[in-house]
Structure 1
Amino acid sequence: MGETSFKIMLIIFNVIFIAFIGAIVVFIREYHRKKKAYIEQIKTIDILHKKELLKTQMEIQVQTMKSIGREIHDNVGQKLTLSSLYLQQLVYESKAPEIIDSIKNINIIINESLEDLRHLSKSLTDDTIENNTIFELIENECKKISNLKKCKISFKSDSQIKPVSYRKKSILLRISQEFIQNSIKHASCEKIDISLYENEGKLHLKLQDDGKGFDVENLKTNGIGIKNMKKRTEMIDGIFNLESNIKNGTKLTVVIPI
């Protein structure tokens, strides 16, 4: 009877011990699961925070640029115009030839400065991105490059592309400009091909040149331009894929949700 009781107690002890070990294992697994979920949550919050921060920065930047542009036009521009009128009046009133020549030279400088300020004011207050489609923005950029005759550039696009937000248009345009400038300055390319189309609710932007290419893995050589393009793409939930080989050109594909 004593031996039977001992066996029963041993069995009960083993069961309790196994249950205890099992509980510890479950607890550890649950702890790691919750820890992982917490880390993922922190990462998600951080990403959302960065996106909101970028959005806010862009909105502030746009408003600041417009404010500066209006200030240049309304204040600085008006003062220079008034100065130019005063100098013209002095030309009529002065009888000394050397003074007249000096005044005319000063007036020329003021008028050139006024013209530069007008261009700057227009660029800062320009609503081009807001008032045009992404198709029109990239097409206009291609026309500018074609007029420079630096290289041949072709642009193909689906005319039925759905409208995208100002933020996405701005980022896609900046990426296109960055790629084009890099291709012309660093790749010594002769041709750039750009295509833009919509597929399954996503917008695909493809840019390709026939330049000398580079080692994609060597980020030090790539510089901050490519890193900035990648970061911008990620900020609008896009996919960034860069392909390049020495002497075989470079291809960039950006895919974003519409």
Structure 2
Amino acid sequence: MPQKSESRGPGAEANPQITRLSIPQGFVSLILNAVAGWIDAVGYLAMLASIQMFPSFMSGNLTKIVTGVVNGNGATSLKIAAGVLAFFAGGVVGRLVNAGEARRDPASLALVAGVLGASAVNLVMGGDAYLTLVALAAAMGMINHAFSGHMDFHVRTYLSGMLVTLAGKVADAIAGRGNWCEAVGPVVTLLSVLIGALAGALMVIHAPLVVSISLPAAVIAALVIALLTGLVGP
């Protein structure tokens, strides 16, 4: 006897679509800004009793160098100056590795994670905490060039530039030359840095310094994996 063929709807043969996780580039930029704020708070509070140097806030460090010389604290000024030079060198290396090309993002971010990881290892092995602070400054110099980013969100370790950009957007919106929506990017970027700084400050107060440095290194390493596996979308 002839077998009856089953009738199926037009969509019966279609395979169900699998939704692929995609992390927006703008969100990655905000995570990196939060990491910068985290590291700045951790580095400053960890050395609060001695050097009081910021790993990424170079405007404050340059002021501290001058005031230290005037106050007769030349030795401290020299240590802070070394941190500033480390930040500068990190920025140069970061730009050499990644000149804004998306394909270079994994390599440049891996370099940042590696320097942060080396900083943590230095502490575990009983190394000088000051060397860790200098390494953190170098990593923060690198992170400014580590991610090609999104047109509305950029990785920046200096709040002054963010505030100037935000002020310009607000002024343009008030004058009718721009849209208020254009201020969203700078506001969110600024908030991400502040939230990261708050989280880092709380962490370094309640946890060992090595943990406070290892966590952001792990976060950046996870972002490298996400980039290499295609999980980061437009």
User: Is TM-score (shorter-chain normalized) higher than 0.5?
Assistant: no
Q: What TM-score, normalized by structure 1, do the two folds share?
A: 0.26
The answer to which structure has the higher strand fraction is: 1
Point out which structure has higher relative CO (alpha carbons under 8 A, 6+ apart). Answer: 2
Q: What TM-score, normalized by structure 2, do the two folds share?
A: 0.28
